Amino acid sequence: MTKEEFITKAITLTNKEDFSKLYDEVTNISRAQKMTKNGAAVLKFLQTRPDESFTAKSLGEEMGSNSRSVSGAMRKLVTDGYVEKVGANPTSYKITENGKNYQFDN
């Protein structure tokens, strides 16, 4: 949502409930669009190996990172729809089509 779209929509709202819904929509969009440094590193790595699935531990070992930072990044990437859980005990992850198509700014 652009700034102009937000302003146009906000001007038309007349009650607190509608404005609250708009606020929730905008903050959820902006929260989803923010990617952490660890998340970007994980997603970039997964884009190079899109047909493989990894546990947080194996991904950390492949990337030279610790599994805790990878696990945190994976939770957000799953929430944002860039990665999906594909196994359990231990949990494995695989990149989604959204993740494969994600374009980094730099």
Identify the architecture of domain 37-101 in CATH.
Orthogonal Bundle (1.10)
d(CA 97, CA 94): 10
Give tens-digit pLDDT for 27-54. Answer: 555 545 578 889 999 999 999 999 999 9
Taking each helix axis as running N to C, give the angle between helix 67-79 and helix 56-63, from 0 to 180 degrees, rounded to the nearest 10.
Answer: 120
Residues of the chain with CATH 1.10.10.10: 37-101
Query: How many C-alpha atoms does 98 have within 13 Å on its Cβ side?
Result: 10
User: In the 8-state DSSP scheme, what is residue 87?
Assistant: E
The model's pTM: 0.68
The tokens 């409930």 sit on which residue? 17
Residue 85 has pLDDT above 90, yes or no: yes
- The string of pLDDT tens digits covering residues 52-74 is 999 999 999 999 998 889 999 99
